[in-house]
Amino acid sequence: MVIGLIFIHCAYLSQHELGDDPWLQDQMLTHLGSKDSWAAAQWATRLAVPPERLSPHIQSCLRLAQQYPDSTLFEDKNIQEQESRRDCYQMTLPLENIHMVDQLECLEKLLPQILQPGSILGLDMEWRPSFSALVQSRVSLLQIAHCQAVYLIDMLALTSQDEGAIVVVPSGATGHPARDIQDAVMSDCKVPHDCPAENMESGKDKASTASRLLTFLQRIFSSTDVLKLGYSLSGDLKNLTRAYPFLAPALKNLECLLDLELLHKQA
């Protein structure tokens, strides 16, 4: 689906270029057709691509559309897709409710909003992919979402770090599911060779940044008034403490934290 959506978007942006280049048309329709034959058939019609250049699946969609010219099959498919999405949880937010946070002052102002009693927070973390078992990129983004807004916390900007890789020493126990997130995280908290805390601003600025970040996360993770949800949270938190060892104390008192991956494995 992702590849199909990408090609639909690209096709909208470059329809004029595609219109004059048969090779580009074929490439786009081949990739799009592998994910969504109906969408490919729509674009084949718009671009007036001859049927002999289309795959059998796309040709079948076109034949059905020709047999029922008044049935708006393409539109019906879109309606079916919209109806199927109603079975899934929807949380549509306007763009102005998605905030990038790269200053400590802004970060601290979030606490009254996200720690309202009875709230549910979604947690996730992002970092540059690494293809080595011994090397892990630093966590670059901490995402906190609730029903009214999403906050994208730029960890690299807040700690004055780059995305340089850190060395990870794997724990002796591997492959078993974590029974408890806190034990799983704290048992694997090892200070990497390249410790970010030593690379931050020196003196009082360094201590202040570390202390304020630590306090922010402690307030969230120790709160009993807010339910925190995530998928594979134990892995995210391990990577967080590997990248920023000074944040490890924030994970010593985890309250109301639910890892959906554990529920998925038990289902």
Residues 153 and 244 in one domain: yes
Residues 65 and 106 in one domain: no
Residues 177 and 246 in one domain: yes
Residues 48 and 143 in one domain: no
Q: Domain limits at 106?
A: 95-266
Residues 195 and 127 in one domain: yes
- Span 172-186, average pLDDT: 44
Where among 45, 62, 85 does a domain terminate? 85
Amino acid at 113: Q
Please give the full DSSP string across 62-84, using - where no structure is assigned.
HHHHHHSTTS-HHHHHHHHHHHH
Point out the least confidently predicted range of 146-160, 182-196, 207-221: 182-196
Residues 34 and 148 in one domain: no
pLDDT in tens, 128-176: 887 776 777 889 999 999 888 999 999 999 988 776 666 665 554 443 3
Residue 220 confidence (pLDDT)? 95
Helix boundaries (H) for 20-152: 22-33, 37-46, 56-67, 73-85, 104-109, 111-114
Residues 102 and 79 in one domain: no
Please report which helix (H) or strand (E) contains residue 142, including its range.
strand 139-145
Q: Which of 205, 224, 219 is nearest to 247 (CA)?
A: 219
- Mean pLDDT is highest, among 14-28, 133-147, 249-263, for 249-263
Amino acid at 58: I
CA 77 to chain centre: 28
Query: Does residue 213 sit within a domain?
Result: yes
- Span 114-135, average pLDDT: 87
Residues 6 and 111 in one domain: no
- Residues in contact with 27: Cβ distance below 8 Å, sequence separation at least 6, in sequence order: none
Q: Mean pLDDT over all residues of the chain?
A: 76
How is residue 145 written in tokens? Answer: 């979402």
pLDDT of 64 strictly over 80: no
Please tell me the total count of domains within the chain: 2
Residues 138 and 20 in one domain: no
Residues 75 and 153 in one domain: no
Query: Does residue 90 sit within a domain?
Result: no
The percentage of residues in the chain with a pLDDT greater than 70, rounded to a whole number, is 65
Residues 153 and 25 in one domain: no
Q: Which of 109, 97, 108, 107 is nearest to 146 (CA)?
A: 97
Alpha-carbon torsion, ordered 47, 16, 3, 137, to 10 deg = 170
**Which CATH number goes with the domain that contains 136?**
3.30.420
Beta-bridged to residue 245, according to DSSP, are: none
Helix-helix angle 37-46:73-85, to 10 degrees:
140
Q: How far apart are CA 189 and CA 254, in angstroms?
A: 15
- Span 84-104, average pLDDT: 79
* Local confidence band at 13 (pLDDT 50, 70, 90 cut-offs): very low
Residues 76 and 125 in one domain: no
